[in-house]
Amino acid sequence: MAQPQLQPQGQVVPFKVKQEEVVSPWKDAWRTLRKNKLALVGFGIILFFIVVAVLAPWIAPYPYDKGELVMKNKPPSEAHWFGTDYNGRDVFSRVIYGAQISLWVGTFSVIGSVLVGTLLGLLAGYYGRWIDTIISRLFDIMLAFPSILLAIAVVAILGPSLQNALIAIAIINIPTFGRLVRARVLSLKEEEFVMAARAIGMKNSRIIMQHILPNSLAPIIVTGTMGIATAIIEAAALGFLGLGAQAPEPEWGKMLADSRQYIQKAPWTVIFPGLSIMLTVLGFNLIGDGLRDALDPRMKN
């Protein structure tokens, strides 16, 4: 073992111990995420659609709700990059404005699902007993129905509209987040740091907000990101069935439904909205996979 060095005067010079940099879990996750090329591709795709949605009034060359019947079902050209639809409307402009609707519905429906599902999951997992029984049985009942059928039932009760479709999508995804959070809470509340907080007399509400919830954020973020992709598909499905956005709103699913009878005569009216849905969903799925790899310690080398 190395001995401390002595100066000529006999003074002991202590060894300097190099301290390693302490990296927070979130900073470490960000470093891992930046190395994931597929996740960066997903970020690029979603950033592109966000920019398109924000700048739609300036990018779109024509109004999305106005057309000329003499230009009905015209193929892509210099004047109309994506061609025109059965009403002579510019498909390119409608696809651009459709990005606003799809991102808005997907994002805010998932935010609603996360807020309600997380609250119910925290209550069920932490307090247990009859609270857990009631909430868990509610989740089981909701999950017993196919999600699209439950969404159709909700929209049928509230009435066909884009806002009601958003509410329906938020409702059907509540059990997904609720059960995820409940399982996480059941594991965390047995940890030593939670038991220590309870032993010193910390209130349950404070334990939940300061200890349980922060340690449950990682799976919520991952599932929520992938949930946006699912919500966009569900919104497109409701729009396709005529239960979501109503004419002349340029929602991608509604555009597919309105143009399905012209798929052989004017395939561009279906191809471009379909590609937009596919790329947006792909982008969110790639981001979700990257976040899962970055936030889950079991996925790290």
Q: What is the pLDDT of residue 49?
A: 93
Residue 51 has pLDDT above 90, yes or no: yes
Kindly state whether residue 199 falls inside one of the protein's structural domains.
Answer: yes
Distance of CA 183 to the CA centre of its chain: 20
* Non-local CB neighbours of 210 within 8 Å, separated by 6+ positions: 197
Q: Please report, for residues 169, 250, 285, the alpha-carbon distance to residue 146 in angstroms, rounded to integers and kept in the order given.
A: 12, 27, 22
Kindly state whether residue 16 falls inside one of the protein's structural domains.
Answer: no
Question: What average pLDDT does this structure show over 15-23?
Answer: 51
pLDDT tens digit sequence for 94-137? 999 999 988 998 899 999 999 999 999 999 988 888 988 999 99
Question: What average pLDDT does this structure show over 147-176?
Answer: 89
Please provide residue 67's backbone torsions phi and psi, each rounded to the nearest 5 degrees.
-155, 175
CA dihedral 219, 50, 273, 287 (to 10 degrees): -30
Kindly state whether residue 3 falls inside one of the protein's structural domains.
Answer: no
Kindly state whether residue 197 falls inside one of the protein's structural domains.
Answer: yes
Q: What is the pLDDT of residue 112?
A: 92
Own/partner contacts of 33-39, CB < 8 Å, gap of 24 or more, are 33/290, 33/291, 33/293, 33/294, 36/290, 36/293, 36/294, 38/286, 38/289, 38/290, 39/286, 39/287, 39/289, 39/290, 39/291, 39/293, 39/294
In which element (H, E) is residue 12 found? strand 12-13
Kindly state whether residue 6 falls inside one of the protein's structural domains.
Answer: no
| Sign of torsion over alpha carbons 178, 241, 149, 282 | negative
Kindly state whether residue 163 falls inside one of the protein's structural domains.
Answer: yes
Kindly state whether residue 17 falls inside one of the protein's structural domains.
Answer: no
Whichever domain contains 117, its CATH number is 1.10.3720.10
Q: What is the pLDDT of residue 300?
A: 52
Residue 2 has pLDDT above 60, yes or no: no
pLDDT tens digit sequence for 200-215? 878 888 888 888 888 8
Q: Give the number of domains in the chain.
A: 1
Give the range among 64-78, 127-141, 219-233, 272-286 with minimum mean pLDDT: 64-78
Q: Domain span at residue 114?
A: 32-64+74-299
Kindly state whether residue 4 falls inside one of the protein's structural domains.
Answer: no
147, two tokens: 């999600």
Q: What is the mean pLDDT of the chain?
A: 83
* Non-local CB neighbours of 107 within 8 Å, separated by 6+ positions: 228
By percentage, how much of the chain surpasses pLDDT 90?
Answer: 21
H helices within the chain, ranges in order?
25-34, 37-54, 56-59, 91-127, 129-143, 147-158, 162-172, 174-188, 192-199, 204-207, 217-240, 252-259, 268-295
Among residues 136, 112, 134, 143, the alpha carbon closest in space to that of 185 is found at: 136
Residue 27: count of CB within 10 angstroms of its CB: 11
Residue 218 has pLDDT above 60, yes or no: yes
